[in-house]
Amino acid sequence: MQDKLGLYIHIPFCGKKCPYCSFYSCRYSRKMSDEYCVNLTAMIKLYSQLYKSKTLDTIYFGGGTPSLLGTQRLVSLLDAIYKYFNCAVKETTIEINPGSGMKLDYSELAKAGLNRVSIGMQSVNADELAELGRKHTPDTIRELVCKIRNGGIDNISVDLMCCIPNQDIASLNKSIHFCKELDVNHISAYMLKIEEGTPFYQKRDLLNLPNEDEERNLYLFLCNELENLGYKQYEISNFSKPGFESKHNLKYWNCDDYLGLGPSAHSLVDGRRFYFKDGFSDFNNNITTFESEGGDEEEYSMLRLRLTQGLISEGYFERYHKPIPEEYFVRARELMSHNLTNVTDDSISLTTEGFLLSNSVIAKILWG
């Protein structure tokens, strides 16, 4: 049983749906979001009672587009969280869409406890942004960062997307250097995945997507360039200045407890994984769906191998009171000659090349 808990709040509204996105969200309306905030507050109260032995140490508003809620509703939600949960919160993040983020009052939000902002920038190249259905420009982002800092929040993360249609090394480099120019503390750089059920999936053959070799080159360039600029990779898709790794997201890869509130939000608490289904009905009626047991040795190993630190004997022993299985070391050593793993006497981790093939490399280490 862990005594700390991370809280994820899903805000399932967007101004319009981006053509590549498969996250659950619906079109924003004032009425729906007012009702949603009332239900969310009731659930915050209810779950704070359920987990009253735990202390909240991270809060994350994700979506959807949390910034669409506006300052007052976000402040009320933060007030409710602080009122009902035991809190010793080190990090409170909100995802901001550059389109709606400009309207927020960051000093009010900072007073209510917000101390980290994650901006969904994706790219600074006009043709790539047009393909992604995004309207902002580099100037929008510069202004937004300025506004956030003037409000007293210095911990800023930016999302970059890799392998966008039409992207090449030069255009990726431009987006990377723009992040450096902004001097943000953290960069999440996700590879675009073409998900079934999205408009991108339907027209996938018409998109000018990079081939496998180009994908590899883009990812390796990204990792190398960010490292050169002082952003250390700490997870397959995440990079930060020293000390600015996302405390909340690290819970996912460390198999630490987190509670997800909202439609489609997932939780891992006290060894149980459960979630609210898409749509408002289950959430409004507090119906959770059991997913699986969670946090066992295999799952922990699988998730830790996404981190550049990898699987470490001391952490594994502390958690499970036994050593990392010797066969993991044997198999991981076999992959060293292909430059896919780093292995020492007490740790196993993936190289950048290994991260490119992470699913198969991790499966090979764990199951042979």
Kindly list the residues in this chain that would bind ligand SF4 in the complex (CB under 6 A): 14, 17-18, 21, 23, 25, 63-65, 97, 120
Minimum CB separation of residue 62 from ligand SF4 in Å reads 9
Minimum CB separation of residue 16 from ligand SF4 in Å reads 7
Is 23 or 82 the residue whose CB approaches ligand SF4 more closely? 23
310 preceded by cis ω (within 30°)? no
Minimum CB separation of residue 84 from ligand SF4 in Å reads 27
Is 56 or 261 the residue whose CB approaches ligand SF4 more closely? 261
Is 10 or 147 the residue whose CB approaches ligand SF4 more closely? 10
Minimum CB separation of residue 97 from ligand SF4 in Å reads 5
Minimum CB separation of residue 199 from ligand SF4 in Å reads 11
Is 197 or 243 the residue whose CB approaches ligand SF4 more closely? 197
Minimum CB separation of residue 21 from ligand SF4 in Å reads 3
- Beta pairing class for 155-162 and 186-191: parallel
Bridge partners for 311 per DSSP: 348
| Phi-psi label, residue 33: left if phi above 0, alpha if psi -120 to 50, beta otherwise | alpha
DSSP string, 163-198: S-TT--HHHHHHHHHHHHHHT-SEEEEEEP---TTS
Is 36 or 85 the residue whose CB approaches ligand SF4 more closely? 36
Minimum CB separation of residue 366 from ligand SF4 in Å reads 31
**Integer angstrom CA distances of residue 187 from 24, 53, 104, 153, 283:** 23, 34, 22, 16, 31
Is 23 or 252 the residue whose CB approaches ligand SF4 more closely? 23
Distance CA 275, CA 278 (A): 9
Is 65 or 349 the residue whose CB approaches ligand SF4 more closely? 65
SS3 96: strand
Distance CA 127, CA 122 (A): 12
**Integer angstrom CA distances of residue 332 from 25, 185, 324, 327, 362:** 40, 32, 12, 8, 9
What residue has token string 């987990």? 51
